C-alpha cells in the first residue's frame, strides 16, 4: 500500500460498566469530547464522522452531532456486529485514503448492562398449526433444538473444535485463561469488573455453556470509545506535542470468512482471523514475534485460546502449550489482554473495537500507569464480529 500513513491523534474510552442514567449519546459524547481533548483538536477539525452502534437505534451519528458540534460534515452510521467499532475506524481511514478528508472521528457506543444472554436470530414461537418458515422450512424454533445459537454455546464449541483438531483442551485450561484476564483487570480502573478470581472460583461459578462459566464470558456492559484519526500530511502541520503523542496505524485490515465446509453449522472465526493477521503483518512489515502486546477478542475464554493460533502467536496447534508457557500473562513474554479483556473490562459491542485500540495506544504512549507494559512499541488489536468479520489493527510508536 503506497498511500500515506495514518495516525491516531486522539483517543478516549469511557469507563465500562452500568450507566442507568446516561444514554447512548451521553456516552458517545463523553468519548468523542475526550478524544478531541486528547488530540488537541475540536469538532471543527473533523471532515468525517463514522458512528457505530449495534443494539440501540444503530443511527447515533446525527444525534451525537447535536451534542458535540453540528458542522454539516458527512456522517456514516455503521453496524458490523462486534466489529462495529473497528469498522467505524476503517470508514474514517478509507475516507482519508480516498482524499475526501484529512481528519475524522470514529466512535462506538453501546448500552448492554443488564441484557441477558445474546441468542441467535431464530426465536420463532410455536403456532397453532405447524407452518414451515424461513430458509430451513422450520415449523418451530430451532435454537436449542438443533444445536445452539447462543453466543456462549457457539464459542464453547469453537474452543472444543480446536481440541478436535489438535488434542483435547481441558476445562481447567480454558478457565486459567479467564483467571489471567481477571488478574489483569485489577490494574485497569476503566474495567467494568476489577476483581481477581481464583481458578477454583472461576470453575465453580455458574455454568453458562460448558466449558464457559459466567466469569469466562464477556461482561455485558455500557460504554463508548472514540478516536480521532489523521493523515500524516495533516499531522505534520500540527504542534510538536500533538505529533509526539500520535500513534501510527501500521496496519488496518478487515476480512470475512471464506466458505469452508462446516461454516454453515459452526461460525468459523479461524479462517478470517488467520487471513486478516497475515495481511496485517505484511502491511505493517512486522511478524508475530515483533508484537509487544495484543488485545484480542476474548468474548469467551474458549475464543482467546484459538486466537493465539489464528494470530500466529504460537506454532500451529500449539495454543495450549503457548498459554501454559506463561507467555500471555502480563509478566510473560508477549502479554495478551492486559486490559482485562472482554471477560472483565466489559464488552459494549460497538465500543469494543475502538477501546482495544485505546488500550494499545495508551501503552505505546507510555501512559498506562501501573499496568504499563514497559517498552511497548508495537501492538495489535483484534475483533471478531460473528457472522463473520475479523478486524485487525497494528499500532506502532
Interface residues toward another protein, by CB under 8 A: 117, 119, 123, 126-130, 132, 134-148, 150, 152-153, 156-158, 160-161, 163-164, 168, 171, 206-212, 259, 261-262, 264-266
Supply the minimum distance, in Å, between the C-beta of residue 390 and another protein. 18
Question: Residue 171 CB, nearest distance to another protein (Å)?
Answer: 7
For 47, other C-beta atoms within 10 Å of its C-beta total 18
| Nearer Cβ to another protein (114/136) | 136
Cα–Cα–Cα angle for 20, 23, 24, nearest 5°? 130
Q: What span, in angstroms and rounded, lies between the C-alpha atoms of 162 and 395?
A: 29
Shortest spacing between CB 317 and another protein, in angstroms: 15
Among candidate residues 353, 388, 340, the one with its CA nearest the CA of residue 108? 353
Is the Cβ of residue 141 or residue 327 nearer to another protein in the bound state?
141
Q: Shortest distance, CB of residue 344 to another protein, whole angstroms?
A: 20
Interior CA angle at 295 toward 50 and 396, to 5°? Answer: 75
Q: How far is the CB of 154 from another protein (least distance, A)?
A: 8
> Closer to another protein at the Cβ: 41 or 154?
154
**Closest CB 177 distance from another protein, rounded Å:** 16
ω into 357 cis (within 30 of 0): no
Which residue, 165 or 196, has its beta carbon nearer to another protein?
165
Angle at 78 between CA 309 and CA 352, to 5 degrees: 45
Nearer to another protein, 166 or 283 (CB): 166
In the complex with another protein, the residue whose CB is nearer, 150 or 243, is 150
The CA-atom distances, in angstroms, between 355 and each of 102, 133, 204, 351 are 22, 40, 30, 6
Cell representation of residue 298 = 476474548
**d(C-alpha 42, C-alpha 36), whole Å:** 5
Ramachandran bin of 264, using left for φ above 0, alpha for ψ from -120 to 50, beta for the remaining angles: alpha
What is the C-alpha to C-alpha distance for residues 243 and 210, in angstroms, rounded to an integer? 48
Amino acid at each position: 500500500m503506497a498511500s500515506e500513513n495514518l495516525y491516531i491523534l486522539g483517543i478516549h474510552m469511557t469507563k465500562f460498566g452500568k450507566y442507568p442514567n446516561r444514554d447512548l449519546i451521553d456516552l458517545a459524547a463523553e468519548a468523542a469530547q475526550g478524544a478531541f481533548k486528547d488530540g488537541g483538536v475540536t469538532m471543527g477539525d473533523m471532515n468525517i464522522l463514522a458512528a457505530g452502534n449495534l443494539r440501540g437505534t444503530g443511527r447515533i451519528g446525527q444525534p451525537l452531532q447535536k451534542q458535540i458540534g453540528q458542522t454539516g460534515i458527512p456522517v456514516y452510521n455503521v453496524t458490523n456486529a462486534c466489529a462495529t467499532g473497528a469498522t467505524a475506524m476503517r470508514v474514517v481511514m478509507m475516507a482519508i485514503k480516498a482524499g475526501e478528508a484529512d481528519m475524522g472521528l470514529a466512535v462506538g457506543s453501546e448500552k448492554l448492562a443488564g441484557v441477558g444472554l445474546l441468542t441467535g436470530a431464530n426465536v420463532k414461537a410455536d403456532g397453532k398449526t405447524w407452518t414451515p418458515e424461513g430458509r430451513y422450512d422450520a415449523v418451530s424454533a430451532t435454537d436449542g433444538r438443533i444445536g445452539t445459537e447462543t453466543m456462549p454455546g457457539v464459542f464453547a464449541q469453537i474452543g472444543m473444535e480446536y481440541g478436535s483438531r489438535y488434542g483435547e483442551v481441558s476445562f481447567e485450561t480454558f478457565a486459567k485463561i479467564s483467571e489471567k484476564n481477571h488478574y489483569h483487570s485489577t490494574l485497569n480502573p476503566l474495567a467494568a469488573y476489577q476483581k481477581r478470581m481464583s481458578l477454583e472460583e472461576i470453575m465453580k461459578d455458574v455454568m453458562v455453556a460448558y466449558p464457559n462459566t459466567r466469569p469466562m464470558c464477556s461482561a455485558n456492559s455500557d460504554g463508548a470509545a472514540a478516536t480521532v484519526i489523521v493523515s500524516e500530511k495533516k499531522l505534520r502541520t500540527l504542534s510538536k506535542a500533538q505529533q509526539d503523542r500520535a500513534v501510527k496505524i501500521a496496519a488496518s485490515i478487515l476480512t470475512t470468512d471464506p466458505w469452508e465446509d462446516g461454516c454453515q453449522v459452526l461460525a468459523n472465526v479461524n479462517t478470517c482471523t488467520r487471513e486478516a493477521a497475515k495481511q496485517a503483518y505484511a502491511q505493517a512489515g512486522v511478524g508475530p514475534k515483533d508484537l509487544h502486546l495484543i488485545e484480542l477478542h476474548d468474548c469467551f475464554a474458549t475464543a482467546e485460546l484459538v486466537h493465539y493460533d489464528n494470530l500466529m502467536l504460537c506454532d500451529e496447534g500449539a495454543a495450549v502449550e503457548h498459554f501454559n508457557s506463561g507467555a500471555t500473562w502480563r509478566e510473560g513474554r508477549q502479554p495478551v489482554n492486559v486490559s482485562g479483556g472482554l471477560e472483565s473490562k466489559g464488552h459494549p459491542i460497538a465500543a469494543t473495537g475502538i477501546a482495544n485500540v485505546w488500550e494499545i495506544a495508551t501503552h505505546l504512549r507510555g501512559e498506562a500507569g501501573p499496568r504499563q507494559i514497559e517498552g511497548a512499541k508495537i501492538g495489535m488489536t483484534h475483533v471478531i464480529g460473528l457472522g463473520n468479520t475479523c478486524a485487525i489493527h497494528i499500532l506502532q510508536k
